[in-house]
Structure 1
Amino acid sequence: MATRVASRVESLASSGIQSIPKEYVRPQEELTNIGDVFEEEKKEGPQVPTIDLKEIDSPDEVVRAKCHETLKKAAQEWGVMHLVNHGIPQDLIDRLKKAGETFFSLPIEEKEKYANDQESGKIQGYGSKLANNASGQLEWEDYFFHLVFPEDKRDLSIWPKKPCDYTEVTSEYARQLRGLATKILGALSLCLGLEEGRLEKEVGGMEELLLQLKINYYPICPQPELALGVEAHTDVSSLTFLLHNMVPGLQLYYEGKWITAKCVPDSILMHIGDTIEILSNGKYKSILHRGLVNKEKVRISWAVFCEPPKEKIILKPLPELVTDAEPALFPPRTFAQHIQHKLFRKTQEGVPN
């Protein structure tokens, strides 16, 4: 237990250290573009699009088509967007955030009761990143990770008992988010000229699409210019929905530059993941992104990854979207094989400067 507690980033951050351990320091080629996140957020330039979903299922076909078109453009050009008027009550979102913040405010010893054990394959629970590359680099975050939907696949025994409403609010948020995922997947399907239910069916449908919640906790960092909360990656999911505590940190690699996402009140940030990029034959983008940390404020984010089943579905470009002029950009793989391919490739290649 003691060795595990010592490895928590929160323990390091609260120990009074002035400099971070070397395994958290990013390689030299990355350090040239890690800036102060509060200054970065103020910069002018390209902005992550904001999509108003109020009319996504309007009975008026013209109004509905206009909403679909803005969603399609954002999915093609950015692969990430702020969703407003998404239909999930703000009160529920506030309660979800409060529950997560309350859990992370517990003493570390209390949180350790929910510790995961990645090496033995027990990935759900409270954890910190294990080094998964030759350099032994680590990310400046702790997290809590667990499956939240479908309800019959959950393991409630590892869900936090404190606060006492954690299970209730998290379950309700997952249910409502699953409905939103159906709406988004339906609109994205129609925008590709497919039947409305096609993409949802291709990622597993109501029975097999898994919603995995990861609450990311980024403690204050004494040397934020040397570290990353999350290193550069694209999401393997079909869609990812992200809430945060209004502290900036997310950066997107857009047109050769790192762009900092501004904090948009009452929004849910949504990423198109690799799975949808593959099915759409690259028409929708899975954007490279990373997380910065800072020395002033703790950042917390709630990411829900909508993942297809690992083995049951072969992911490949849909035949309707493959032509002689636009051949298949991705080979057929299961979701599990795609993850392995990415891990292997990551050990072979660097990330953009």
Structure 2
Amino acid sequence: MEVASEKMVNRDEITDAAQSMFAGDSTDIPESYIRTDEVLAAEVVGEDEAYELPVVDMAKLLDPDSSAMETEKLGHACRHWGFFQLTNHGVDEAVAQLIKDTTVQFFSLPLDVKNRVAVPEESAGIEGYGHHYSRGRGDKLDWAEGLILITQLVQTGT
């Protein structure tokens, strides 16, 4: 089985030059980011078409009676959509909103502050701030700044 980090290409730091390339009124986009042929060949959803976002129910995933069916829905959403909405996850709405607000605050920080938590150069992992993208068809790149944090449940001693 292929591990996600093996497919991911990451650069340890977003530089001022890279950030300024995509800021403001700049129209000079590097060739490595331009996907003209792919965009022209892409399937575009028309205004008269409607699609429903896949919804996966965490409670059904954990229930032995419905787990297999819900797992299939999860797999289909991942393979065909690349994302889904998770319901009944137990995360309080106030906590979810705090995460959203904190995310906006982080990405609004100056580059030098965000780079303090950049993916370490000596790291083979993907955790931290930087460019996180996987190469699609050809050698074209996706422009993105990202912050990947690997989390685990807090273990309590009993």
TM-score class, shorter: 0.5 to 0.7
Q: Percent identity?
A: 23
Partner of 1:87, secondary structure, is coil
* Residue number in structure 2 paired with 1:89: 92
Q: Report the AA paired with residue 55 of structure 2.
A: T
Q: SS at 2:129's partner residue?
A: strand
Partner of 1:47: 52
Partner Cα distance (1:23, 1:45) in 2: 32
Is the Cα contact below 8 Å between 1:127 and 1:143 reproduced in 2?
A: yes
The equivalent of 1:264 in structure 2 is none
Q: Which residue of 2 aligns with 1:74?
A: 73
* Bigger RCO (CA 8 Å, 6+ sep): 2
Instruction: Indicate whether 1:4 and 2:15 are aligned.
Output: yes
Match of 1:149 among 147, 152, 155: 152
Q: Gapped runs of 5+ residues in structure 1?
A: 59-63, 153-353
In 2, Cα distance between equivalents of 1:57 and 1:122 = 30
Paired amino acid for 1:23: S
1:128 corresponding residue in structure 2 = 131
Q: 1:120 to 1:91 in 2, by over 3 A?
A: closer
CA distance in 1, matches of 2:125, 2:84: 32
TM-fit CA distance, 1:69: 5.9
TM-score for both structures, normalised by structure 2: 0.62
Contact preservation (8 Å) 2:56, 2:74: no
Aligned partners of 2:123 and 2:133: how far apart in 1? 13
In terms of fraction of residues, the more strand-rich structure is 1
Separation (CA, whole Å) in 1 of partners of 2:134 and 2:77: 30
Alignment gaps of 5+ in structure 2: 1-13
C-alpha separation in 2, matches of 1:71 and 1:120: 36
Q: Deviations over 1:46-83 (max 9, x none)?
A: 5343244456667xxxxx73x44651441464446422
Q: Identify if the C-alpha distance between structure 1 residues 31 and 98 changes in structure 2 by more than 3 Å, giving closer, same or farther.
A: same
CA distance in structure 2 between the partners assigned to 1:130 and 1:51 by the alignment: 25
